[in-house]
Structure 1
Amino acid sequence: MTEDFTATLPRKRMAAGALLTDEQGRVLLVEPTYKPSFEIPGGTVEAGESPRAAVVRELEEELGLPVRPGRLLVVDWVPPRPGRTEGLMMLFDGGLLTPAQTGRIRLPPEELRSWAWCTEQQAAERLTELLARRIGAALRARAAGVVAYLENGFAVS
């Protein structure tokens, strides 16, 4: 039997997250215990797992919430840098969290220190520049009803 040609092709790191907002339009961010800056809820897409399934799994693991994400908002290709391979990052619309859902958030203490509702400006102060650009693009894509394609957080036309 011959080897599948696709098995010899390059592989990319992939992660997926959710843009979750409240009634005031603020974005939900989480504070990991293992890094200095905040993140969006989500994480690595495991082998054999779809990006959407990864978001569902991560939201249950990180927040204790059974949220089913909506449409894809952003695809962001991130170039390699020292200590990290290139990757594809996807951001899905997690929708509006009600006060009742927000009250059920439960964080895994070994992974997440806290969570916060943030305006886009507040998010930019807590996130890396790359992730702040991605969040801004996701908010604009949601409002416009489009999917944004980014490279390193910047829109590509």
Structure 2
Amino acid sequence: MLAPESKPDNASERYASAYNSDTLDHDPFVVGLKERLPAELRESFTPQQLDALRNAFATRSWARHKLDWRGTFSLWRNQYYFVLVGGRNKRSLSRAQRSLSLAAKAGAITAFLFFSALVGLVALYLVKSALGINLLPNYSLGLWDWFKG
């Protein structure tokens, strides 16, 4: 029988930190956390606890995008910022989003087929006109005359 895996008993082994207490004191998340805590709790955390809190709350999985374009610009006396992010959606879609996605795909396919059919009909009309075939006597769309220039 195999022995069960031993788990660390104390928090210092469980949350081994790559940061020392000096680094954590200057970390923006830790500084902001301490500013929002009551005065009697600010210095009650160990460096390992602060590091574990920083890892749990300060990680930003949304910050990694294939397209991440951020900037600022001034307009009159105000300054504005813009953010353009994009990448593969790793979240599962809701039922409404799936329905909307399916409708958008169907609309795009329909528009593509309609445009393709229209281009095909214009090409056939031009070929017909170039060969001198006249389906309706004394009637022309004027497309061949326009195409000849």
TM-score, normalisation: structure 2: 0.18
Greater relative contact order (Cα < 8 A, sep 6+): 1
Structure with the higher helix share, 1 or 2: 2
Larger radius of gyration: 2
TM-score, normalisation: structure 1: 0.18
